Amino acid sequence: MHELVEKSRDLLAQEAVIEEKNLLNKFFTMLAKEPEKTTYGRLQTKKALEYGAVDLLLLSENLDDKTTDEFMEIAEKFNTKVEIISVDTQEGIQLKELGGIASILRFALNQ
């Protein structure tokens, strides 16, 4: 029984990593092909959040709690999906290097 629980835990962890990688790959693909439907960095993403334009908010796990709470609070007002991204993958490190905050928008903004 214990072995089964451990295997399940490992499998779930792998699934979470794959999901994170897929989300970030989608973001980076959109950044390259449709940059007007993405944001990154604190100011640009916060502005888009406050307009209600953000569909998916990506926050790095290494952000301070105050910043994470601030962005999550705004996201909640607009039913924005939020994903906390680990820095355990290359994609997670790339997000961290972009300031740790990014988004995929519901619609393009003229920023």
- What 3-state DSSP class applies to 27? helix
Answer yes or no: is 110 within a domain.
no
Q: pLDDT tens for residues 3-18?
A: 655 656 666 567 777 8
Using CA atoms, how far apart are residues 95 and 27, in angstroms rounded to an integer?
Answer: 10
Could you tell me the pTM of the whole model?
0.87
Answer yes or no: is 111 within a domain.
no
Domain count across the chain: 1
Q: pLDDT tens for residues 56-93?
A: 999 999 999 999 999 999 999 999 999 999 998 899 99
Answer yes or no: is 61 within a domain.
yes
Using CA atoms, how far apart are residues 36 and 93, in angstroms rounded to an integer?
Answer: 23
Give residue 93's domain range.
2-105
